[in-house]
Chains A and B, each alone.
Chain A
Amino acid sequence: MSEAMQSRPAARTGGLTGAKVGTFLARQGILIAFVLFMVGFTVANERFLEPDNILGVIRSSAILGVMALGVTFVVISGNLDLSVGSLMSFSTIVVLDLHDKLGPALAIPAMFAMTLAIGAVIGFLVGYLRLNSLIVTLGMLSAIHGLTLTYSGGQNMDIADKEGTWFSVFGQGEALGIPVPILIFAALAALLGIVLAKTPFGRKVYAVGGNGTAATFSGIRRARVVFSCYLVSAFCVATAGLIQASRSMGSQNTVGQGMELEVLAAVILGGASLMGGSGTIFKTVIGVLILGFIQNGLLLIGLEFYVQYVVTWIIIILAVWLDVAAKRGRLLSPIA
């Protein structure tokens, strides 16, 4: 009991107490973990921090990253989108097919229109009909896959004349020494980051995800906001499909398969809550980079490719844990 009394002056000076350090660590946990990983990998393999490697990692993360930007909107609005991988396959196949039929200048807008139309269907089902987004997008995952196969007849798509088209610029081009996919990712991230943080629409996305009822009571048309989020997501998927198609100039029907989980992982790693109402584009970008660098680092230190699935999962659990711990101000559940 005298201990409690003696602790008073110390605490009054307001220095960093253990608890405060703990909360700080937990709150910035993702960034700190990221830095630790970077340091560790650099020590293990000096190639890790070379500009070439870094650019390479970002470039190979760009497709995933572009998709994650859109999914960030959906997740903040309190919903899920598990259809992005399958929709990306669709976009890729469609744009490759139309390239030879219509030429790139028409193929690209046509593919965007078709992808957005599918996004609108999802947005309608989740937003206006208020169906559960997990079920809708899980269903869409396989429905879109079916659609893609029907479209392609199960065949791989290839651009016939790979040399004589400017279409390759989106996936293989460079400007100012920076690969175009990175530029697209950065530009889209900047644009959507501003939309989310600075415009009325962005504000409404947070409100709808944070408390849908209160948003309705504030005159926000909730269905319209959710619908729009799925359109944003579809737009990002179409962009990702464009980069993918342009990079490989040919594709299987399953190119985006499984990416929905990686995308979701990046968004959660960035700290968006699956409950909706929180997250930012900046944090999602961090999440994407963490995933990319960690996978790259694991390869560089010579681990089997498959190990990264396990490690990725561990990192996500760690991230979610730190997030929850930050919210309650301690690492373990108070009612453990």
Chain B
Amino acid sequence: MTDKTPALRLENIVKTFPGVRALDGVSFEVLPGEVHALMGENGAGKSTLMKVLGGIHQPNEGRILVGEEPVVMANPLDAKAKGIVFIHQELSLAEELTVAENIYLGELPRKSFGRVDWKTLHARTDEILAQLKVGFDARTVVGTLSIANQQMVEIARALTVDAKAVIFDEPTASLTDAEKVVLFEVIEDLKRQGVGIIYISHRMEEIFRITDRISVLRDGQYRGTLVTAETDEDEVTQLMIGRSLDLSRNESHAELGDVAVEVRGLSCGDLYRDVSFEIRRGEVVGFYGLVGAGRTEIAETLFGLREPSFGQILLDGEEVRLHSPADAIARGISLVPEDRKGQGLVLGMNCRDNMTLPQVDDLKAGPFVAEGAEVAIFDQYRDRLDIRTPGWRQLVGNLSGGNQQKIVIGKWLSMHPTLLIVDEPTRGIDVGSKSEIHKLVRDLAAQGYAVMVISSEMPEVLHVSDRIVAMYHGELIRSFTSDEVTEDNLIQAISGIRPDEKAA
């Protein structure tokens, strides 16, 4: 392809887990100064390949070359020493420590007698943070940061090392557009310094914006490499899932029924103020806005996780007070939460038990859990959502990120809720499954469910919603029907510009 020596090469890597051949003879390389995308469906083996490279997993077969030289990545520290920096799909920060401590963990600058040199530590950290244009400083405790900002800390950590190659495993899954722009600048910088960059993402627009080449994995096998400038989304999709996708905007409208949920003048501290809206049966309402606009907090209130300070919630016309998720679930509300690892799943539990957890009291045979019924539910949603796992006994923590997300979705769909709230439902989900999930959301509406979709992805909101509500800083700015909405007026609304202000 070129005459440059790759910064890094993986040759014929095989990696198996009990019951799974995650990588089946995969080869992959990245050139210095290249951004090389690694794509594939959920469970295709992308993260596993990178974990082999990062010294987290040892391959069963195959070898790794840094420059011309074969190496063994004995452990993550070893890989780091060899210039491999890994930004993980799942965050791996110490929540109780400060940003600075996290970034320099294990190599804190020292003074005499081994005392930590806090001054230098904080100065160095702030320098890197300035480069990333983030709104927090070195002394901030990581646990107080949003997921997006925690992701920025992970990225900052990568910038402290003299890297040969940097691996980004779905770095933008929880970043805002503004943060993405900063990230892309950082990547440009690294590229100019001759660092090889491996970029994993399910988002086509990013892939086409920043990468030079695209390699595709499918079912643990290498499928081919495309030059980004010479290909298009369709070709990549074909290679990934073996078919093309229909990505048209939502035109179908389900028959609208009665109002399923109505919210009147709802406020919660300064998280959101005076919010009113309604969702009818058969309707999908998209909530669009920047991270921090208050959408997740509204969802949490509707799910009984927060008490509102003012206002009313009406379900089927009747005012309700929800004090716990158990209350909300009993009233037919489901929430697919934003943070799958923290809120959605018990990672040490198997797939089936996770999926049926909210209804375990209802699935009974005498005093016991009806395991047969549970397996039936699991099988149904595994097929419907195309969840890749060797079986229901697999621990959820061993599934790929996207497949974990599908378990959470299946868990709440199987509750047959009246109101289904989904918060960033397709985070980390591959393009094929994404359109499946969108279809599923439309189907649910057609069956008479009310659906509230919170998403930071404009195409997703446009694609699934009958109506779109734009929020800005805790206020509901405007509600659009799908005929009125355009990308422009949506972007204005989420920046806080109301239609009348624009006219003036």
Contact = CB atoms under 8 A, between A and B. Distances in A.
Interface string A266-293: 0000000000011000000000000000
Interface in B34-69: 55, 58, 60-63
8 contacts: A210-B349, A214-B345, A217-B335, A218-B325, A218-B357, A221-B324, A278-B348, A335-B76
B70 interface: yes
B344 A334 contact: no
B14 A11 contact: yes
Given A17-B60, A200-B360, 15 more contacts: A4-B63, A4-B70, A11-B14, A198-B368, A207-B349, A210-B346, A210-B348, A210-B349, A214-B345, A214-B346, A215-B346, A216-B305, A219-B325, A219-B330, A278-B348
B60 to A, nearest CB: 5
Interface string B234-277: 00000000000000000000000000000000000000000000
Interface string B285-299: 000000000000000
A220 interface: yes
A203 B61 contact: no
Nearest to A7: B61
Nearest to B330: A219
Contact of A213 (B70, B328, B342): B342
Interface string B329-354: 11000010100001111111100010
Contacts of A4: 61-63, 70
B358 interface: yes
Nearest to B337: A217
A199 interface: yes
Nearest to B362: A200
A221 B326 contact: yes
A277 B349 contact: yes
B355 to A, nearest CB: 10
A154 B345 CA distance: 51
A204 interface: yes
**Residue picked from A19, A207, A218, A220, most chain B C-beta under 10 Å:** A218
A4 B60 CA distance: 9
Given A198-B368, A198-B369, A221-B326, A213 B348 contact: no
B495 interface: no
B75 interface: yes
Contact of A1 (B70, B337, B364, B367): B70
A334 B346 contact: no
User: Lowest 9 CB-CB distances: which A-B pairs, in order?
Assistant: A210-B346, A334-B75, A219-B329, A219-B326, A218-B357, A211-B346, A218-B358, A200-B360, A4-B63
Interface residues on A, range: 20 to 34
Nearest to B353: A203
**Residue picked from B62, B324, B346, B363, most chain A C-beta under 10 Å:** B346
B367 A199 contact: yes
Contacts of B62: 4
Contact of B347 (A1, A198, A211, A216): A211
B347 A203 contact: no
B210 interface: no
A215 B354 CA distance: 10
B77 interface: yes
| Dominant secondary structure at the B interface | mixed
A211 B369 CA distance: 20
A19 B60 CA distance: 10
A277 B329 contact: no
Nearest to B55: A334
A214 B343 contact: yes
Interface string A198-240: 1110011011001101111111110000000000000000000
Contacts of A218: 325, 357-358, 411
A8 interface: yes
Contacts of A210: 346-349
A215 B357 contact: yes
Contacts of B305: 216-217
Nearest to B57: A329
Nearest to B63: A4
Contacts of B337: 217
Contacts of B411: 218
Interface of A: 1, 4, 7-8, 11-12, 17, 19, 194, 198-200, 203-204, 206-207, 210-211, 213-221, 277-278, 334-335
B57 to A, nearest CB: 9
A200 B365 CA distance: 10
A199 B369 contact: yes
Nearest to B415: A219
B316 interface: no
Contact of A277 (B55, B326, B348, B361): B348
Nearest to A198: B368
A198 B370 CA distance: 9
A206 B346 contact: yes
A67 B344 CA distance: 34
A258 to B, nearest CB: 31
A4 B367 CA distance: 55
Nearest to A195: B367
Nearest to B11: A4
A216 B363 CA distance: 18
B343 A335 contact: no
B76 A217 contact: no
Contacts of A335: 75-77
A176 B369 CA distance: 34
**Residue picked from B75, B325, B349, most chain A C-beta under 10 Å:** B349
Contacts of B329: 219
B357 A203 contact: yes
Contacts of B344: 214, 217
Contacts of A217: 303, 305, 325, 335, 337, 343-344
B56 to A, nearest CB: 8
A216 to B, nearest CB: 6
Contacts of B346: 206-207, 210-211, 214-215, 277
A233 B330 CA distance: 30
